[in-house]
């Protein structure tokens, strides 16, 4: 069955974009690689039109670079690019942690605690830890109730993910990340807004050090 048949209810270019995203995140497509449109369209059983629309989406996310008369390439990012992304994420998520500590309901904090418990159970398994970690951060952002912040962070995290999976493979990083989450949850549970913000800021400093 072709991709078009499998995912008919969803705009086809969105499904194609997600497939390509996962290939980039898994390093099947490496930074600087040329994206062979004919080959990929044939593999997915689609025409080049939805593929080109998908590439435009990935270009706006910073995952693909479009070069005139040369086609699309997987984006390459410098150390400065990575540092800039982490800097902005730290600003936005630090503020979100402060807001959640102040305003979240007990039920909402319990929801974060449940996600944190799942994260604790995944230490030693980076393949599980990474999506659970992302789910925790995105739920905290949702609870901070600012859709513009959430949208910006989601876009920035797509770029961060180019490096994040590798950083979590480093010795001791999963355990260190969990310990940072533990401190954050304690601050949130005690509704200490400034401590929660400080914990989140330290979390991003450590994350950048591991990813660099």
Place of tokens 């590439």: 55
pLDDT, position 10: 73
Closest CA to 126 of 82, 72, 171: 171
145: region left, alpha or beta (phi > 0 left; psi from -120 to 50 alpha): left
pLDDT, position 68: 86
Return phi, psi of residue 67, to 5°: -115, 130
pLDDT, position 164: 61
Per-domain residue ranges of the chain: 3-74, 79-211
User: Does domain 3-74 bear CATH number 1.10.30.50?
Assistant: no
Partners of residue 76 on adjacent β-strands: none
pTM of the model: 0.77
CATH assignment of 79-211, among 2.60.40.1120, 3.40.50.10420, 2.40.50.140, 1.20.120.530: 1.20.120.530
CA–CA distance, 91 with 197 (Å, rounded to integer):
9
Please determine whether the domains at 3-74 and 79-211 fall in the same fold group of CATH: no
Closest CA to 93 of 202, 210, 174, 206: 202
pLDDT, position 1: 47
**32 token code pair:** 């600087």
pLDDT in tens, the chain (212 residues): 455 555 456 789 999 999 999 899 888 998 899 999 999 999 999 999 999 999 999 998 888 999 988 999 998 878 898 899 999 999 999 999 999 999 999 999 999 999 999 999 998 888 888 889 999 999 999 999 999 999 999 989 888 887 765 565 666 788 999 999 999 999 999 999 999 999 999 999 998 888 77
pLDDT, position 87: 96
């Amino acid at each position: 069955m072709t991709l078009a048949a499998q995912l008919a209810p969803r705009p086809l270019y969105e499904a194609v974009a997600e497939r390509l995203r996962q290939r980039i995140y898994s390093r099947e497509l490496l930074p600087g690689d040329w994206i062979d449109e004919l080959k990929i369209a044939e593999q997915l059983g689609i025409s080049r039109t939805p593929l080109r629309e998908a590439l435009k989406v990935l270009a706006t996310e910073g995952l693909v670079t479009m070069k005139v008369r040369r086609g699309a390439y997987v984006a390459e990012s410098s150390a400065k690019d990575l540092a800039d992304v982490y800097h902005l994420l730290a600003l936005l998520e630090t503020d979100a942690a402060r807001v959640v500590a102040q305003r979240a309901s007990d039920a909402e904090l319990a929801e974060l605690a449940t996600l944190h418990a799942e994260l604790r159970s995944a230490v030693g398994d980076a393949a599980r830890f990474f999506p659970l970690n992302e789910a925790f951060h995105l739920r905290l952002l949702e609870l901070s109730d600012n859709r513009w912040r959430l949208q910006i962070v989601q876009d920035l995290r797509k770029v961060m993910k180019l490096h994040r999976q590798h950083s979590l493979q480093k010795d001791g990083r999963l355990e260190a990340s969990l310990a940072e989450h533990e401190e954050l949850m304690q601050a949130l549970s005690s509704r200490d807004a400034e401590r929660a913000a400080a914990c989140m800021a330290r979390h991003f400093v450590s994350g950048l050090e591991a990813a660099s």
